[in-house]
Chain A
Amino acid sequence: MADRVPPNPLRAAECPALEVRGLSLRYKDVQALEAVTATVPAGSMTAIIGPNGAGKSTLLKSVLGLVQAEGEVRAFGGPVAQAMARIAYVPQRAAVDWAFPVRVIDVVLMGCYRQTGLLGRIDAQVMAQAQSALARVGLQDFARRQIGALSGGQQQRVFLARALAQGADLFLLDEPFAGVDAATESAIIGVLKSLRASGATILAVHHDLTTVASYFDRVLLLNRRSIAEGPVAQTFTRAALEKAYGPALFPDPAIRSAS
């Protein structure tokens, strides 16, 4: 399944979607990130992989300025703060209060806040945008359900729909496939691949090493520092994985089938 899409010619001349230079972060006495450097080309689909505690989620949050880190981050050639409207973030499922009184459609509409603002009406156009985002993840019939009444996989898809409704072209996802069923996994990967085909850029924290090669075209290996980055074929190697995760963790067949 080596369906790597060639870079969209319209985007090829553009600056990278994301550039990280020397990003460092300390939590009290733990060095969470140390001089991380990475480049995410526009129109690519990149997996961030690395062991637990490697700072993968922290990297996404500090790129977005949601936690304060030192270093330089540029999105589409400018400061991230100026590109925020073009960036969507899908959090880890565990980070959400599922007992919150909110319907599926309300969550998706939250992605349209920049359009509706403080007092703007949710008009037919905004509503249609939210509905079509919901349809794209296959949940059009669930619009009026409570978010807490959905399965884990469906909840994850609602959050992807919220990102779609935002109309972004850089998507940052924190473990989108963690704890979801197979149907959801294939629905999400289908949506992400169609986003890439339309020129969007995807950067996702990913755990399942066996699916890296079939889902993504680039990898960023992280263990507090950036270990390696580049196209899957050159970068997703046993040597690099051992450098990130420590030796002797990987029986050869797993890597073989993945590459």
Chain B
Amino acid sequence: MIWQALLLQAGYNAALVSLGAACLGAAAGAAGAFLTLRRRALMSDAMAHATLPGIGLGFLVMVALGGDGRFLPGLMLGAALTAALGLWAVQRLSRQIHEDAATGAVLASFYGAGIVLLTLIQGLGTGRPAGLETVLLGSTAGMLRADALVIGFGGLAVVAALWVLRRPLTLVAFDPLHAAMMGINPRRMDSLLMALVLAVVLVGLNVTGLILIVALLVTPAVTARMWSGTVSGTASLSALIGAVCGYLGAAISAGVPDLPTGPVIVLLAAAAFMLTLLVRGRRDG
């Protein structure tokens, strides 16, 4: 079963899901490379956890409008709104307390609110909430063809946007003051990067889940960094590692009943990182 899935022979849908997960992995790897170079890795974790209340709210609004509450773009819209709110909260709190503390506080509060909301929804008996919790750890089993297409093309769009913005993003990450002198607005670039990371988080909700997306953003990036001495090399290799992990993880998870996809993808990425540490660990910089 696993081998069939790996070789795209487990049916058209499973193949589509694996390819979609590969596109997501590529997007997460490339975005993660710029994110870690800009030293904003933890910001993505707060953002991902802040999507959960939005998913609950999105579900409730869609049920109230007469749907079954499982329309993926609707859930994504709700997730995007509370994630943006969480990001704003981190930035606002950072004026009074340190950014790492602000990140931790926002992450936990939003996640707690989301869990409460999801638990309430399970007890309501309206809509079709069964399986809503797969956004936590991801599950590609039973994924619709339309979902796989959203994930695949969403991932490719993020990769394309990062390719276009690679130079200003690099300048801002390396030396924001110099970038400003070159006519780049560093704050606008940071916002664009955060928007692209948010897109990765949203697209990844059904694949890795919101808890583990940070691992797919960070692990391939730090692994690639140990092999490459340039930004474009790091980002490309990171995208490749992410794509391979996404593809294999989705395929393995599809072949093993009840195995969530996120943890498998993350373990594969961690294995690549451990292997790299063993081979290249002695090198600094």
Among the listed stretches B19-27, B113-121, B177-185, B269-277, which one makes contact with chain A, having 4 or more residues with CB under 8 Å of it? B177-185
Q: Mark each residue of chain B from 171 to 193: 1 if its CB lies under 8 Å from any CB of chain A, else 0.
A: 10111011111111000000000
Q: Mark each residue of chain A from 186 to 226: 1 if its CB lies under 8 Å from any CB of chain B, else 0.
A: 00000000000000000000000000000000000000000
Indicate whether B145 reaches chain A with its CB closer than 8 angstroms: no
How many A-B residue pairs lie within 8 Å, measured between CB atoms? 73
User: Is chain B's binding surface mostly helix, strand, loop or mixed?
Assistant: helix
User: Which of B170, B175, B184 has the largest count of A CB atoms less than 10 A from its CB?
Assistant: B175
Q: Which residues of A contact B74 (CB under 8 A)?
A: none
Indicate whether A96 reaches chain B with its CB closer than 8 angstroms: yes
Q: Which of B174, B177, B178, B181 meets A102, CB within 8 Å?
A: B174
CA gap between A180 and B33 in the complex, in Å: 32
Tell whether, in the assembled complex, residue A149 and residue B285 are in contact, meaning their CB atoms are under 8 Å apart. Answer: yes
Tell whether, in the assembled complex, residue A97 and residue B174 are in contact, meaning their CB atoms are under 8 Å apart. Answer: yes
Q: Which residues of A contact B164 (CB under 8 A)?
A: 118-119
CA gap between A101 and B165 in the complex, in Å: 17
Tell whether, in the assembled complex, residue B225 and residue A110 are in contact, meaning their CB atoms are under 8 Å apart. Answer: no
Q: Which residues of A contact B175 (CB under 8 A)?
A: 91, 95-96, 110
CA gap between A162 and B179 in the complex, in Å: 12
Number of interface residues of A (CB under 8 A): 31
Q: Which residues of B contact A61 (CB under 8 A)?
A: 177
Q: Which residues of B contact A95 (CB under 8 A)?
A: 175, 177
Q: Mark each residue of chain B from 148 to 168: 1 if its CB lies under 8 Å from any CB of chain A, else 0.
A: 000000000000000011011
Tell whether, in the assembled complex, residue B177 and residue A91 are in contact, meaning their CB atoms are under 8 Å apart. Answer: yes
Q: Which residues of B contact A110 (CB under 8 A)?
A: 170-171, 174-175, 178, 182
Q: Which positions 56-91 of chain A face chain B at CB distance < 8 Å?
A: 61, 64, 66, 84-85, 87-89, 91
**Interface CB pairs A-B, < 8 A, 21:** A61-B177, A64-B177, A64-B180, A64-B181, A66-B180, A87-B181, A88-B181, A89-B178, A95-B177, A100-B173, A101-B230, A102-B174, A102-B229, A106-B231, A110-B171, A113-B171, A113-B179, A113-B182, A113-B183, A114-B183, A118-B164
* Closest CB pairs A-B (n = 10): A113-B182, A148-B285, A146-B229, A66-B177, A101-B229, A101-B234, A100-B174, A99-B285, A89-B181, A110-B171
* Residues in A lying within 8 Å of B, measured CB to CB: 61, 64, 66, 84-85, 87-89, 91, 95-103, 106-107, 110-111, 113-114, 116, 118-119, 146, 148-149, 162
